Amino acid sequence: MKILFKAILFVMVIAISSNVAFTQSNLDKKVLVTINNENVTAGEFMRVYEKNNYTDELYSENDVNDYLNLYIDFKLKVTEAVYLKLDTSASFITELSGYRTQLAKPYFVDESVNEELLLEAYDRLKKDIRASHILIMVDENATPEDTLKAYNKISRVVDDLNAGKEFSVAAIEYSDDPSARDTKAVPNKQRATKGNKGDLGYFTVFNMLYPFESVAYNTEVGDISPIVRTKYGYHIINVTDVKDAMGTAQVAHIFVALRPDASKQDSLRKTEKVNNIHAKIQEGLSFEDAVAQYSEDKGSIKNNGQLSHFTCNRVVPEFVEVVDIMQVGDISAPIKTDYGYHIVKLIESNKPGSFDEESSILKKRLAKDNRSRKSEDAVITNIKTNNKFKVYTEAANAIIDAIDSSVLNKRFVADSLKFMTETVIKIKKEKYTQYDFAKFVQINQRIQDNIDRDVYVKQLFSEFEEDCCLSFMDKNLEANYPDFKELVKEYHDGILLFNLTDEKVWSKAVKDTMGLQEFFESNRNNYIWDERVDATVYEIRDRNIIAQVTEIISTMDNDGDIAKAFETDSIKAVRIIPNTYELGDNKYVDQIDWAVGVSEPVNSDVEDLTVIVKVREVLSPEPKALKDARGLVTADYQSFLETQWLKELKTEYTVEINDDVLEKIIIEKNPSN
């Protein structure tokens, strides 16, 4: 109940966005109302009013007066909450802080960058790329020396390629990606596998790391890309195909296995087998029967050979290429992969949709992808550019050098460097010291393996720069964005209003059982039963037994006896519903004459159902007991408590309305009047 009240309250009090543009007026700074010596300007009132009113006659005199009264009531309650210091409680501060964090999020996003990323992602979604790569591994946190060593190594690979070396040969010889090379069988441990010579197959947007993806999509077919770095190391990419996107597909297949190290005789035998299966299908054998009789994929046989839905990066390239030329229902000729032979039937094909159809999914994937950092990076760059951001290099290097290797084991203690207080970063007039950085390191340090201390601490300092920028912006949001300031204030007031109203009205009405009883006794005449009938509804699902049911319920009075009689006569298609009914409680009871006795059968107009109603007594209007009207009485009691509370507040606090300003608002906003 409290949650529902809170949701309704926030909808009423806080309009986060508005379709009504608030225009500046010469009345903006005029005082409209003074509540307990706190002035509310016409501008403040009009802004809130326009957010919550969408009628054609926006500033009709009656509407403005009604809303002003509601607004005054709201402000009185908030004034009381502040007087009681509810805004200083830990729970209030925590709750408001949580809302503020959520409200601030849009200010830390560069929407123009996000829009560019979204359009880029959709453009790439429409194409599938096949590419090979050569990887020289180097950790993203490697020392400058190790990084340079890896870069020089891949540069020599580029020189070999430029000199005419085949990309596939170079991948086998140089790549640190082990899948590029064949592996031999080890008895009882592993099967032989065939290397891919650097071929990654097909992929599309979000299938690869963003730097890799971007370079691949910007490299022409047949070309070799510039060197690109990812968290795994340095890559060079050879794009071998670009085609219209496959999207998602589902196929069924008939599989004939062929080991990579199969003999020539085995290869011929398997080739003959798959060709014979295909011939039988062409002669009239159904694909499903061929799966059951001949497929060697035991996992898919029970599903008529069907495989799970897949995208281009989830299957071998041969499947992507064959799906590309098939229509739903087509059956392919045998195709060969590294696993053996397949005859494929296309079950389903879903190409990428329009931008409007795909954008919501792409936005969700963007939010989870590392490329979304571009938006935050743009915000941080903007903060640095517009706020005289400065790093004091000498002081920064001093604190970086002072943090020892204990940081690698998550044991660094900031207070060991508490004496280091020189400024390392300045943003406008805001200064961040060496000790501030030390405290940041203590909070954010993590256990590290295989990373140089100097590299790790410098990485933490970069994170500290970003944190300082974001903290500076967050600290100044209210000053820089008046709309944000007003929105946070509305949440501030809304939470206070809810908490105090809950204490004074909602929860009190539930907990104050004596007060509720007294209120009920004083207003008993407001809770009267209308005319009712004590009756039983019999719902009959078999119209062949209507006469038999009618006879039983006409000769017996007790529903228990009637139920036993139904059981004795094996009558099961009847539902017995006894109750005391008011008009509107049951549409079949509403349709009969309210007189003691058994009604004529009433047929449903939407289903195979017949209803008979047996009226035992017609009850005259009478007062309800509290238990029968508790919900309604509680709601009325809450309204009573709120009315009384507002009377007390209006006695306790002064309210002065400037009628002249109020009149001018109505005239200015309705010039035709």
Together in a domain, 172 and 238: yes
Distance of CA 103 to CAs 16, 21, 473, 487, 489, Å? 10, 20, 14, 8, 12
**pLDDT > 70? residue 297:** yes
Phi (first) and psi of residue 670, to 5 degrees:
-130, 70
Average pLDDT of the chain, as a whole number:
92
> Is residue 169 included in any domain, yes or no?
yes
**Strand runs (DSSP E) across 1-156, as ranges?**
31-35, 38-41, 127-137
Task: Yes or no: say if 238 and 135 are a contact pair by the CB < 8 Å rule.
Answer: no
Torsion of CA 186, 187, 188, 193, to 10 degrees: 40
Together in a domain, 592 and 537: yes
Burial class of residue 205 (count of CB atoms within 10 Å of its CB; 0-12, 13-18, 19+): buried
> Is residue 594 included in any domain, yes or no?
yes
Together in a domain, 312 and 393: no
pLDDT value at residue 236: 98
CA atoms in the 13 A half-sphere facing the CB of 303: 13
**pLDDT > 90? residue 23:** no
**pLDDT > 60? residue 247:** yes
- More confident site: 655 or 6: 655
CATH number at residue 162: 3.10.50.40
**pLDDT > 80? residue 21:** no
What share of the chain in percent tops pLDDT 90? Answer: 84
Task: Yes or no: say if 457 and 407 are a contact pair by the CB < 8 Å rule.
Answer: yes
Task: Classify 428 in phi/psi space as left (phi over 0), alpha (psi -120 to 50) or beta.
Answer: left
Together in a domain, 541 and 580: yes
Together in a domain, 148 and 232: yes
> Is residue 39 included in any domain, yes or no?
no
**Predicted model pTM:** 0.72
User: Mean of the pLDDT values across residues 299-303?
Assistant: 94
Using only C-alpha atoms, the chain has a radius of gyration, in whole angstroms, of 39
Smallest Cα–Cα separation from 331: which of 282, 276, 294? 282
User: Mean of the pLDDT values across residues 354-369?
Assistant: 95
Together in a domain, 136 and 217: yes
Token readout for 346 is 């296309």
Together in a domain, 275 and 216: no
Together in a domain, 131 and 184: yes
User: Mean of the pLDDT values across residues 634-648?
Assistant: 96
Residues found in the chain: 673
Together in a domain, 137 and 236: yes
Together in a domain, 262 and 219: no
**CB neighbours (10 Å) of residue 620?**
8
> Is residue 260 included in any domain, yes or no?
yes
Task: Yes or no: say if 170 and 224 are a contact pair by the CB < 8 Å rule.
Answer: no
> Is residue 583 included in any domain, yes or no?
yes
Res. 259 pLDDT band, cuts 50 70 90: confident
> Is residue 438 included in any domain, yes or no?
yes
Together in a domain, 267 and 346: yes
Distance of CA 6 to CAs 83, 364, 394, 496, 508, Å? 22, 29, 53, 11, 16
Domain that holds residue 147: 127-244
The CA distance from 285 to 278, in Å, is 9
pLDDT value at residue 15: 39
> Is residue 63 included in any domain, yes or no?
no
Together in a domain, 238 and 196: yes
Query: Crossing angle, helix 453-475 and helix 393-402, to 10 degrees?
Result: 130
DSSP letters for 566-625: HHHTT--SEEEEEEEEETTS-HHHHHS--SSEEPPPEE-SSSS-EEEEEEEEEEPPEEPP
Task: Look at the block and give the residue holding tokens 């799906």.
Answer: 323
pLDDT value at residue 18: 37
Phi (first) and psi of residue 619, to 5 degrees:
-100, 130
Task: Name the domain count of the chain.
Answer: 4
> Is residue 276 included in any domain, yes or no?
yes
pLDDT value at residue 10: 44
**CB neighbours (10 Å) of residue 644?**
12
Residues 532-548 have pLDDT tens digits of 999 999 999 998 999 99
**pLDDT > 50? residue 333:** yes
The CA distance from 538 to 613, in Å, is 6
The CA distance from 624 to 563, in Å, is 31
Res. 26 pLDDT band, cuts 50 70 90: confident
**Strand runs (DSSP E) across 434-526, as ranges?**
none
